[in-house]
A and B are shown apart, each in its own frame.
Chain A
Amino acid sequence: MAKLSLRNISKRFGDTQVIHDFSADVDNGEFLVLLGASGSGKSTLLRIIAGLTDPTKGDIIFDNLRVNRQSPRERDIAFVFQSYALYPHLTVRENITFPLALDKFKAWHHIPGISAIARRIFGSSKEVAERVDSVSSMLELDEYSKRKPGGLSGGQRQRVALARALIRNPSMFLLDEPLSNLDAKLRAELRGEIVRLHKLTGKTFVYVTHDQVEAMTMATQIVILHNGIVQQHATPQEIYARPANTYVARFIGSPPMNLMSATVADGQPALGRLRLPAPEGLRLGTGPVTLGLRPEHLTVSADVDGPGLPGTVRRIEDLGADTLIGIQPDRTLDLKLWELNQDDLIWIRQTGQTRLMTGDPCTVALNAGMASYFDSDTGANLASAAEVSDAGMLSSHG
């Protein structure tokens, strides 16, 4: 129904460039998440797609039609706001019916008194009533239909906002941090709800968030933005397993990927004195590189003489099912941790509990096969850079 293409979108506010030359294609039915810290330009991008903000440059294309000149309404999309943006004086049901009622609204309905009657007749017509009923029950809003938004909780309000988006059966849904104002439990609940709606409607969803959990659990595709520049556009799995650069590596995952300075000699990387096997399918040039390993690709043992990095346990965070262990590597190793590593520790995720105690000496074993290698200057993933150049394509960013 609607394939979304964004071509070379740029946006400036005065002297500030908010979005730099953004391009992306989103197939019909995709769930695209625009992920980034605040100020990354993700909301602006969403508003540009919606038509609430004009791009400084670039084309917004729906199914081979350039829609830059179309009003938000003409683009046939629904927008869900972070603050819900419900009409406070209308009941839940009237809020949901509002977009439909507008379609039927004629100029003469503005004659005082007429509009209320017209709206009532329209709202009680069989077709409309059935549609509103089905959307309300889908979002479990039936019992609140006569209430005003002021009498609803945040989660209920956002359900009403979703219902108002659904009622018109638009070709695309745009959601701007819809769960940010909710508490953790409701957020998890509505996350499932939104995924269900996406499956049910089969429409394209573009979803803005700064929450990596939302991105990882809901998206079929993620675009990570940083200062208005695309860092990576890929599936959640791809982004997690093969981050395009150190920014993505640090942004996704909790705790984030461990980054360590390694040196390469004869194609073989070494962490301090610890030599690692050469990575498969990637030829490393001699010199410094940044090595990245997810916390679950490291193991720790109390055996001080075993193979690996010797260190000391500094932090233990028991999460119940998992335990996070923060290790300070031995000074004698001369191992440089990437400056941003949390508390300058190597973090390890282990299933279940640990017998280690804070202060214990230990050895960290690396699953070197899972390591990512990044350019120590640019931060770009060396593997993906190699692939990109192999394919003969040059991406202008990250």
Chain B
Amino acid sequence: MTLRTSISPPAVAPTQIQDAPSRHHMWQRISPYIYIGPAVIYLIIFMIIPVVQGIQLSFTKTPLVRPDGGTGVGLDNYTRLLSTPQFYNSLGATILYTAATVIFAVAIGAGAALLLNQAFKGRTIVRAIITLPWAVPTVATALIFSWIFNRSDGVLNEVVGVFGVGQQGWLVDPKYGMAAVVLTSVWKVMPLVMLVVLASLQSIPSELYEATRMDGAGALETFKAVTWPHIAPTVRVVTLLMTIWSIRRFEIIYLLTGGGPVDSTNTLVVNVYRQAFSNQELGRAAAIGALGLVLSLVVTVVYFMMERRNAAKEA
């Protein structure tokens, strides 16, 4: 008997082929919508509707005592805002506060991560201690620092007193107000940067470091050739998050200085609060909020454009 390989088509005429009924297939088609449904509903109710209402509010003159009783004023709130120096002062404070907080938090956080990525005794304990500020509630943080900065019996004045510097009003002197607020914010948010960068550092394969040792690279060259390219995307994301969070940070600033001294820390968000609840002008407050939103959006768009360029360069 010989074996033959048949390549001729089957003799029987093909019948119409139909899909077998499948519950699984049905479920596969529906399930994604069921999974994202709750999140979509949440976003619509708590994010999209309030944002739209906020923007609507910004075109009205609405007193705090009668939130539904606003009268339409068109772009009046915006034109008035953009013609007052107080708004630009507030915008400047926001940018200064954000830039300083982000730069210090990212630099110190990334630096700490690099140090804590080295092997040394007690590393776990040191990591835990440095992470603590992130776990402290924001209000508690603000209270602790308001005591530290206190003019008459704060610790900071005791410390600088040792060096012969007289008592300073850290939170009431316009020279120091912003610095004090930034310092507190950095202390609070830096651990998050450290944790995220540390996680990224730990994902670098050890062979790459060994390869640079074989190639004879020094510490700085190794950092540039291996470490930085690996952690850069993480650092960029954490910088974006830090920036957006800094633009809208409220508690620390308000609890420490209330926007003072002399409006030096009157960031947009603090300004929104003051307009709404001190000046009782909901419409004006909403307009500042809308402009703050634009600022956040600009940052985000710039970030994604940079990422796109990087991705294009990588390919």
Distance (whole angstroms) from the CB of A141 to the closest CB of chain B: 18
Quote the shortest CB–CB distance from A144 to chain B (angstroms). Answer: 14
Q: Please tell me if the beta carbons of B210 and A87 are within 8 angstroms of each other in the complex.
A: no
Does B159 lie at the interface of the complex (its beta carbon under 8 Å from any beta carbon of A)?
A: no
Checking B205, B210, B215, B314 against A98 with a beta-carbon cut-off of 8 angstroms, the contacting residue is B215
A-B contact count (CB 8 A): 59
CB <8 Å contact, B224 and A81: no
Given contacts A50-B214, A73-B216, A87 and B221 within 8 Å (CB-CB): no
Contact A79 B210 (CB under 8 A): yes
B208 at the interface (CB under 8 A from A): yes
> Which of chain B's residues have a CB closer than 8 A to the CB of A337?
none
Q: Min CB distance, B215 to chain A, in Å?
A: 4
Closest residue to B230 on the A side, CB-wise?
A: A88
The answer to whether A98 touches B214 (Cβ under 8 A) is no
Interface residues of A in 77-113 (CB under 8 A from B): 77-79, 81-83, 85-90, 98-99, 102-103, 105, 110
- Among B213-229, those with CB < 8 Å from A are 213-217, 220-221, 224-226, 229
CB-nearest residue of chain B relative to A100?
A: B215
Q: Is the Cβ of B214 less than 8 Å from the Cβ of A78?
A: yes
Q: Is A71 an interface residue (CB 8 A)?
A: yes
B47 at interface, CB cutoff 8 A: no
Q: Do residues A52 and B229 form an inter-chain contact, with CB atoms below 8 A?
A: no
Known: A85-B205, A87-B225, A98-B225. A52 touches B213 (CB 8 A): yes
CA distance A89 to B311 in the complex (A): 11
Given A52-B210, A79-B211, A81-B211, check contact A103 B205 (CB 8 Å): no
Give the number of chain B interface residues (Cβ < 8 Å): 19
Residues in B neighbouring A148, C-beta threshold 8 A: 314-315
Interface of A (DSSP majority class): loop
Residues of B within 8 A of A86 (CB): 211
Chain A CB within 8 A of B207 CB: yes
B176-210 CB mask vs A (1 if < 8 Å, else 0) is 00000000000000000000000000000101101
Complex interface: chain A residues within 8 A of B210 (CB): 52, 72, 79, 81, 85
Note all chain A residues with C-beta closer than 8 A to B314.
89, 148, 150
- Contact partner, A87, options B208, B214, B220, Cβ 8 Å: B208
Q: Please provide the chain B residues from 225 to 264 with a CB less than 8 Å away from any CB of chain A in the complex.
A: 225-226, 229-230
Q: Is A115 an interface residue, CB under 8 A from the partner?
A: yes
Output the nearest chain B residue to A147 by Cβ-Cβ distance: B315
Nearest Cβ in chain B — how far from A52, in angstroms?
5
Q: How far is the CA of A88 from the CA of B208 in the complex (A)?
A: 10
Whether the pair A73, B211 counts as a contact (CB closer than 8 A) is no
Please state if B215 and A77 are interface contacts (CB–CB under 8 Å): no
In the complex, are the beta carbons of A71 and B208 less than 8 A apart? no
Question: Are B229 and A88 in contact, with the CB atoms below 8 A?
Answer: yes
Q: Across the two chains, which residue of chain B brings its CB closest to A89?
A: B229
Return A151 CB to nearest CB of chain B, in Å: 8
Residue numbers in A under 8 Å from B214 (CB-CB): 50, 52, 72-73, 77-79
Inter-subunit contact A102/B208 (CB<8 Å): no
Minimum CB–CB distance from A146 to chain B (whole Å) comes to: 11
Between A78, A90, A102, A150, the greatest number of chain B beta carbons within 10 A of the residue's beta carbon is seen for A102
| Contact residues in A for B229 (Cβ distance below 8 Å) | 87-89
- B211 A102 Cβ-Cβ under 8 A: no
CB proximity of A120 to chain B, nearest CB, Å: 15
A215→B207 CA distance, assembly (Å): 24
Given contacts A79-B210, A88-B229, A89-B314, contact A102 B205 (CB under 8 A): no
Q: A50-B214, A89-B314, A148-B315 are in contact. List 16 more A-B contacts (CB 8 A).
A: A52-B210, A71-B216, A73-B215, A73-B216, A81-B211, A85-B205, A85-B208, A85-B210, A88-B230, A89-B229, A99-B216, A102-B215, A102-B216, A102-B217, A102-B221, A148-B314
Where the two chains meet, the residues of A that have a C-beta atom closer than 8 Å to any C-beta of B are: 50-52, 71-74, 77-79, 81-83, 85-90, 98-99, 102-103, 105, 110, 115, 148, 150-151
28 A-B residue contacts at CB 8 Å? A52-B213, A71-B213, A72-B213, A72-B216, A73-B215, A77-B214, A79-B210, A79-B211, A79-B214, A83-B207, A85-B208, A85-B210, A87-B208, A87-B211, A87-B225, A87-B229, A88-B229, A88-B230, A98-B215, A99-B215, A102-B217, A102-B221, A103-B216, A110-B220, A115-B224, A148-B314, A148-B315, A150-B314
